[in-house]
Amino acid sequence: LRSCSPGRARRTNASRRACLVARFGDIYAQERLDAETLLRTYISDMEMVQRIIFIAAVESFHAAKMAYRQFKIRVRETLSLGHSGPESLEDTVLDYIVRHEDLYDVQASVNEVIRSMNINPKISFPPEIDFIVISTLIRELCRVAFSMQTLIPPLDIGFGTDGELFSETKYHRSLDSDFTAALVAYHVWPALMENDIVILKGEAVTKR
């Protein structure tokens, strides 16, 4: 008989979620601005700087989610060999991941993000400099994105494309936006989502 008592990960879900949402907001307020300041020493074009940071955020979530899926498969394979309950195998796997998040190889994700950014046609960087200069921002985003996958339901960032219709529920407009423009010229920061519902607004620039 399977016990109906929730695992530790489920019991701590609400408090972990609150901490991670707050941490994502802190990264926007602190590490993002630090990265912006750093990039401005190499790149004079503010739009390019903001595009680089937005793509870094998108790629960080992508890399962390891929790493989480692979990590979870390995944990499930290992724990299934001796699993007998009382919790379900899925709850046991989740509990293990939450307790051992320090086993996540965040540096491998950082390297993956930088590789992806180096071949992204929308952004460019002076050839003598490497995207590794913003690795602190990338590392923090990967960490928080990985942890967000352990939530029920997991949190993710919203999909954004240049030229999309501006959404008041999804984004704040940047101060240098044309406030009468209906379309997004480019994104500054992604929205944080839970089951397609906006938890924290992102930031976008609208121009005619």
Residue pLDDT, tens place only, 12-23:
889 999 999 999
Q: Is the pLDDT of residue 1 over 50?
A: no
Q: Is the pLDDT of residue 2 over 50?
A: no
- Does 117 lie in the same domain as 162? no
| Chain segment 139-188, per-residue pLDDT in tens | 999 999 999 999 999 999 999 889 899 999 999 999 998 999 999 999 99
Q: How far is CA 70 from the centre of its chain?
A: 17
- Does 92 lie in the same domain as 188? no
By the 8 A CB rule, do 75 and 97 touch?
yes
Name the helix (H) or strand (E) containing 187. Answer: strand 184-189
Q: Structure pTM?
A: 0.91
Q: Give the contacts of 86 (CB within 8 A, at least 6 positions apart).
A: 2, 3, 5
Q: What is the pLDDT of residue 92?
A: 82
The Cα 94–Cα 100 span in angstroms is 10
- Does 192 lie in the same domain as 103? no
- Does 184 lie in the same domain as 144? no
Q: Is residue 4 part of a domain?
A: no
Q: Is the pLDDT of residue 3 over 60?
A: no
* Pairing mode of beta strands 192-194, 155-157: antiparallel
Query: Residue 115 is part of which domain span?
Result: 9-154
Q: Is 80 exposed, middle or buried (0-12, 13-18, 19+ CB in 10 A)?
A: exposed
Residues in the chain: 208
Q: Is residue 2 part of a domain?
A: no
Q: Is residue 121 part of a domain?
A: yes
- Does 147 lie in the same domain as 178? no
Q: Is the pLDDT of residue 128 over 80?
A: no
The Cα 113–Cα 48 span in angstroms is 17
